[in-house]
Structure 1
Amino acid sequence: MKEDFLHYLWKFKKFSFLNVFTTQGEKLEILNSGWHNTENSGPDFFNAKIKIGNQLWAGNVEIHINSSHWYAHQHEQDAAYDNVILHVVWEHDVEVFRSDKSEIATLQLKDYCNLSLLKNYENLLNSTQKWINCEKDFFAFKDFQLHNWLEKLYIQRLETKSILIFEKLKETDNDWEAVLFQLLLKNFGLNKNGAAFLELAQSIPFSIIRKLESTLQLEALVMGQANLLIENKEDVYYQQLKKEYQYLKHKFSLTPICQNSIHFFRLRPSNFPTIRLSQLMQLYKENQHLFSQVKDVKSLEEFYTIFKVNTSDYWQTHYSFGKESKKLAKNTTKSFINLLVINTLLPLQFAYQKYIGKENVDDLFTVLKELKAEENSIIKKFNNLRKDTAKTALDSQALLQLKSFYCDKNKCLQCELGVSLLQSTRS
């Protein structure tokens, strides 16, 4: 038994609430269950309205497995709980009092809970060695039910990503171009160098990017800040970059990131940091006002047009400094741009829409549904549980949200799929 089950019972009145009594024997009428406090400290439900006997009460509700947990959590010493009007418990094992010694009315839910609901809860949550709690039932969810929940989950994922974006916006004095630069640089680093590339982006005020116009200056700036220019190499272009970086470092009082934080090991040459940095700098050489271009893009093809970019000339014959290779144009691929769209561009558009008060997720959905589902172990397992669960990137993004924020945390009672299983008539 977990408290979230009791929260569920109370919030949605999933018990025989029309004929209930307090443990003190008084008739209890629940007029309003209150507002569920899921984030802040304090009582579990605020602003509830109940009637005990002939007395109308307005205040907060606290929920515990056992009444004695009131004292285990020292609520009797906390003034924040003085306005609790009802203590809802599964097992009433002790009388409970406020800090002023007045007794709090108690409702013992085990006397009124539907046994089939309790059994479904135990079947769902008490399973062991399962990838997700509902895996043996996952195939049976109705298509409409599943995909309606997936769309909600994707919006939740965008909301979560918006928190980071708004933090970045505050750090950059509401400069959306600077925020885009940081997020793009992080995603150009992919999983291997993402954290280091974000650190790199934060080490470079975007005002400097705005001032630089040549490929040499832009590449010198990012590669120098990334500690890729600290060796002594005879390569001519390397020496030019190194000299230019020393000038920029002094002029703008720059401090490079931690040495050895950029990695090449086990990366495909096309994903080498040198290649990705050159591609991004070419993008900014051609588009100083990139955010102004992408904030209103409504099609995948438009994103492809903007973000298809090559490296500078040097990197068409190199993957690393001083080692010449066969000449090859190293354009950003559609698959790479797809990652940018999913992880950076659409979340940024969503955050910007929230910022200006004109949210429109339909356009975001349209772009995502043009993209195939991502391929990773989590998506593969969902597809094994239910064929073609993830067909589009919207599906795969939503499923990642489901796994991370619900399944892994056993939040089945906050999941529409889990709740539907609780209410089912299965044995």
Structure 2
Amino acid sequence: MKEDFLHYLWKFKKFDSLNLESSQGEPITVLKTGDYLELAGPDFFNAYIEIGNQKWAGNVEIHLKSSDWYLHNHEKDPAYKNVILHVVWENDTAIFREDNTEIPVLVLKDYISKEIIESYNALISPKTWVSCERQLKEIDRFVFKNWQERLFFERLERKSKFIYQLLEETNQDWEAVLFCLLAKNFGLNTNGNSFLQISKAIPFSVIRKESFEVENLEALLFGTSGLLEIEKEDVYYKDLKFRYFYLLHKYQMENTYVDPLQFFKLRPDNFPTIRLSQLVSLYHKHQNLFSKVIDLKSVNEGYRLLNVSASPYWQNHYQFDKESPKKAKMLSKSFIDLLIINTIIPLQFAYSNIRGESIAEDLIDFINEVASEKNTIIDKFNSFGIKSQSAFESQSLLELKNEYCERKACLKCALGLELLKNN
């Protein structure tokens, strides 16, 4: 039994409300359960309850055991002075106010049906990948679609926190924020944090000034990454190293150290050398990238905007000093899809929020054009009959799994509540 289940029972009045009686033997009539705000202080605010012959307006606190009141030190907290009813599962001790009057207690387990407890226990079963996996297909499609939309925007809201943090760090420079976001996502999971460190180590004003010359940009990024630290015979390598130290002197920058870049177990096209060069090519091609990203409205526009390849040297290299068969290392459509999902749409969302604009429908239309992600989580949902047809659906399913299912937050999930209601 968890306290959030008691919150659910009280909020939706899933108890026999006709014959309630306090542990002191007084009849209780719940006229209004109160507002469940999930803030510090009592669980439900502004409840309206009749106890005995007296009507009370105030707050309701809920615990598994009444002794939790003292365990949580509520007797010392003035926020709990206006509690008019203590709702508990087990009443193991009396609770008193400052004036020594006893707070009325409602023992909720005496008024709950066996069936609803069984439904709850089945819902939070720890033996399954997702608690409701066998029932997912039974959920009303309208409920499911509405919840997916909410999940999608919750995911954007979480991603926006990082964007707002970058905005503070860059003195409200949206171009610099975009550069950091793109760098992180060009590095993917393996090198994302190292790429982010690289982007933060180089002032964006320097990136902007040097974007007209590919070799200078590559020198900055490769040098900051630590890839130019040892001696090599490669002519291009030597040129980049010379340029890097020249640029450090020119802009009075220090030689910064970031987390080492990883090549192990990566496909060659995802080697950090290739991804850094592609990022450089993007900024060489577009000097005012932020405004173009904000104006994007479709996947095809995104493909055109991000249609770049690694620089000429990397057409026949994956690493310095090691020549390979020539290949035009363009950004693939699947990689651009990831950039749209993880960089462009979150940035558009955060930027519109800062400006007080609502672009929710535009974002849904945009991401519905992007192909669904493919990973073990999406595959697992697919095995339960929940098909992901677009990135809108895959992003919402990832949010569902990671932020609700993994946390066993079934009673905060619209799907869990729907299943309990139906049962």
Q: TM-score range by the shorter chain?
A: over 0.9
Q: Is the 8 A contact 1:117 1:423 kept in 2?
A: no
Q: 1:23 and 2:23 equivalent?
A: yes
* Deviation sequence 1:281-328 (CA, Å, 0-9, x none): 111112121111111211101111111101222111221112222222
Correspondence for 1:180:
178
Structure 1 ranges of 4+ moved more than 4 A: none
**Deviation for aligned residue 1:416:** 1.2
AA of the residue aligned to 1:190: L
* Deviation sequence 1:180-211 (CA, Å, 0-9, x none): 11110000001110111111112122122122
* Deviation sequence 1:65-98 (CA, Å, 0-9, x none): 1111112222223333223222111122211123
Correspondence for 1:414:
412
* Deviation sequence 1:29-88 (CA, Å, 0-9, x none): 4343333243x4332223333343454434332110111111222222333322322211
AA of the residue aligned to 1:279: Q
Q: Is the 8 A contact 1:139 1:385 kept in 2?
A: yes
- 2:422 match: secondary structure: coil
CA distance in 1, matches of 2:61, 2:257: 49
Correspondence for 1:278:
277
**Deviation for aligned residue 1:372:** 2.4
Correspondence for 2:36:
36
Correspondence for 1:231:
230
AA of the residue aligned to 2:33: S
AA of the residue aligned to 1:320: Q
Q: Is the 8 A contact 1:86 1:105 kept in 2?
A: yes
CA distance in 2, matches of 1:100, 1:317: 83
Correspondence for 1:9:
9
Correspondence for 2:104:
105
- 1:298 match: secondary structure: coil
Say which is worse superposed, 282-291 or 136-145, in terms of deviation: 136-145
Q: Is the 8 A contact 2:197 2:258 kept in 1?
A: no
AA of the residue aligned to 2:140: K
* Deviation sequence 1:220-251 (CA, Å, 0-9, x none): 11111101110111212111111111122233
Correspondence for 1:200:
198
Q: Is the 8 A contact 2:116 2:420 kept in 1?
A: yes
Distance change in 2, residues 1:260/1:113 (3 Å): closer
CA distance in 1, matches of 2:71, 2:59: 19
* Deviation sequence 1:145-191 (CA, Å, 0-9, x none): 32222122111111111111112112222211111111100000011
- 1:133 match: secondary structure: coil
CA distance in 1, matches of 2:173, 2:259: 30
Give me the TM-score of the superposition, normalised by structure 1. 0.93
Say which is worse superposed, 27-36 or 175-184, in terms of deviation: 27-36
- 1:21 match: secondary structure: coil
**Deviation for aligned residue 1:269:** 1.5
AA of the residue aligned to 2:105: T
Correspondence for 1:85:
84
- 1:327 match: secondary structure: coil
Distance change in 2, residues 1:417/1:217 (3 Å): same
Q: Is the 8 A contact 2:27 2:51 kept in 1?
A: yes
- 1:187 match: secondary structure: helix
Correspondence for 2:266:
267
CA distance in 2, matches of 1:35, 1:250: 61
**Deviation for aligned residue 1:270:** 1.1
Say what the alpha-carbon RMSD is for the aligned residues. Answer: 1.9
CA distance in 2, matches of 1:214, 1:143: 53
AA of the residue aligned to 1:315: W
AA of the residue aligned to 2:352: Q
Percent identity, please.
52
Q: How do residues 67-216 of structure 1 correspond to structure 2 at under 5 angstroms?
A: 67-125=66-124, 127-212=125-210, 213-216=212-215
CA distance in 2, matches of 1:396, 1:133: 19
Say which is worse superposed, 2-11 or 165-174, in terms of deviation: 165-174
Correspondence for 1:349:
348
CA distance in 2, matches of 1:255, 1:35: 55
Q: Is the 8 A contact 1:225 1:255 kept in 2?
A: no
CA distance in 1, matches of 2:96, 2:257: 56
**Deviation for aligned residue 1:336:** 0.5
Q: How many residues align?
A: 422
**Deviation for aligned residue 1:19:** 4.5
CA distance in 2, matches of 1:36, 1:211: 53
CA distance in 2, matches of 1:260, 1:369: 36
**Deviation for aligned residue 1:100:** 4.9
CA distance in 2, matches of 1:291, 1:54: 66
AA of the residue aligned to 2:139: F
* Deviation sequence 1:85-120 (CA, Å, 0-9, x none): 221111222111235534222222122223322221
Correspondence for 1:248:
247
- 2:228 match: secondary structure: coil
**Deviation for aligned residue 1:255:** 4.2
Q: Is the 8 A contact 2:34 2:44 kept in 1?
A: yes
**Deviation for aligned residue 1:268:** 1.4
Q: Which sections of structure 2, spanning at least 5 residues, go unmatched?
A: none
- 1:378 match: secondary structure: helix
- 1:60 match: secondary structure: strand
CA distance in 2, matches of 1:143, 1:74: 45
CA distance in 2, matches of 1:45, 1:208: 54
Q: Is the 8 A contact 1:199 1:257 kept in 2?
A: no
AA of the residue aligned to 1:130: T
* Deviation sequence 1:355-409 (CA, Å, 0-9, x none): 11112222222222222221111111111111x5212111111111000111111
AA of the residue aligned to 2:154: Q
- 1:129 match: secondary structure: coil
Q: Is the 8 A contact 2:30 2:50 kept in 1?
A: yes
Correspondence for 2:217:
218
Say which is worse superposed, 149-158 or 219-228, in terms of deviation: 149-158
Q: Which sections of structure 1, spanning at least 5 residues, go unmatched?
A: none
Q: Is the 8 A contact 1:79 1:99 kept in 2?
A: no
